[in-house]
Structure 1
Amino acid sequence: MRGKAPDYSETLAAIVYGLKKLESHPAMQLTPERFNSQAKAAAEALRRVIEPDLRHAVAAVDHASREIARFAGDLRTREAQRNAFVYAGAGGLIIGMVLWAMLAGPIARLLPDSWQVPEKMAAATLHLDRWAAGSRIMRSADPGSWKTVTAGAQLWRDNQSALDACMRAADRVKKPQTCRVIVGGPSATRP
């Protein structure tokens, strides 16, 4: 007995329906050529979306690199400016010293005598008061005459009262007077 064969029509209909549904899916409709053109279109659309941002990023990197290069140039320029400033300052100082040495004396002599600028400059140069500076200058200019000056000053100190009286007498009679002085006292200096 041969039995009746099972009815697969429902199962086969479900399979056919699934295959038709699968066949109608857009992915199954896609051929390699169509896939290629869709991929190109998607890449072009993506490029159009990304390109402005990419250009902006490239421009920002370019700008940053130019700023870094300019900053490095500025640093070199600052170094050059600092060196130029140092050289100009040193040159100005040297020129100023030379001009001061050349012009200070003539300018001081042009000023009124009552200001005593040359005398004050000489004393300042020697770091002495004007009396000590004048003594030092006279002593170095003519040592023999300096000894005479110091001996005369000592003679005056030793005989001050006698010389004062003699000068008063000369003033009274309006004639030169002979004065008696003592030479060679204990504080006398020998030329």
Structure 2
Amino acid sequence: MLQQNVNTAGENVARIGQFLKAAPALAMTPEQMAQRIAAAGSAARREDQAALAKAGEDKARIMADLRAIAGSAWTRADQKNRQLWFALGGVAAGILAWAIVPGLVAREIAPASWQWPERMAARTLDLPRWEAGQRIPL
């Protein structure tokens, strides 16, 4: 039985020896192992740095897109605001022009024989032309 145990132990030692020969990591010196670990770490860091750089570029691109969208939204709001003010200004200018221009045309441009100021006064005061014309200030 002792012989059998010795034989089994010898076989196990032989298998361990074959395993050690087949495993390159076990054949390296500590300095070689440290170099390989450092190289693997550098490669991993390069990949991480590349991924971080790409993520930064993606973030910058997306932020630019968002700024453009937000900027165009502000521009649209400003444009609608300007359109409202121009429309109100146009309405006010139209009211003012409608109040001033007919009188100027009636007094200055139309011939006096047409008697537009008198007709306008008669229509405005709801009086006959003679009485309305008497009330026109000179």
TM class by smaller structure: 0.5 to 0.7
CA distance in 2, matches of 1:29, 1:102: 106
Deviation at 1:72, TM superposition (A): 1.5
Q: Quick one: which amino acid aligns to residue 20 of structure 1?
A: G
DSSP-derived class of the 1:28 partner: helix
Shift of 1:111: 3.6
How far 1:57 moved relative to its partner?
Answer: 3.2
Q: 1:133 to 1:29 in 2, by over 3 A?
A: same
> Which of 6, 17, 23 is the matching residue for 2:3?
6
Conserved? CA contact 2:25–2:33, under 8 Å? no
* 8 Å contact from structure 1 (residues 22, 28) kept in 2: no
Q: Deviations over 1:34-82 (max 9, x none)?
A: 4443233223324444544543332122211222122122212211221
Q: What is the one-letter code of the residue matched to 2:27?
A: Q
CA contact (8 A) 1:122 1:133 kept: yes
* C-alpha separation in 2, matches of 1:38 and 1:135: 108
Shift of 1:86: 0.6
1:20 aligned to which of 17, 20, 36? 17
Q: Secondary structure at the match of 1:137?
A: coil
Q: Does 1 or 2 have the higher relative contact order (CA < 8 Å, sep 6+)?
A: 1
Give the helix-richer structure, 1 or 2: 2
Matched residue, 1:102: 100
Tell me how far apart the structure 2 counterparts of residues 28 and 37 of structure 1 sit (CA, whole Å).
Answer: 14
Tell me, in whole angstroms, the C-alpha distance in 1 between the residues paired with 2:51 and 2:127: 86
Report sequence identity in percent.
26
Q: Normalized against structure 1, the TM-score is what? A: 0.49
- In structure 2, C-alpha distance between the alignment counterparts of 1:107 and 1:135, rounded to whole Å: 19
Give per-residue Cα distances to partners, 1:112-132, cap 9 Å, x unaligned.
Answer: 578x6948x849xxxxxxxx9
TM-score (norm 2): 0.63
Q: Residue type matched to 1:39 in 2? A: I
Larger Rg: 1
Which residue of 124, 133, 137 corresponds with 2:127?
137
> Residues 135 and 102 (structure 1 numbering): CA distance in 2 closer, same or farther, change over 3 Å?
closer
Q: Give the partner amino acid of 1:6.
A: Q
Among 54, 66, 70, the alignment partner of 1:72 is 70
Count of aligned pairs between the two proteins: 128
Match of 1:40 in 2: 38
Say whether the 8 Å CA contact 2:20–2:26 is kept in structure 1. yes
Change (3 A) 1:75 1:7: closer
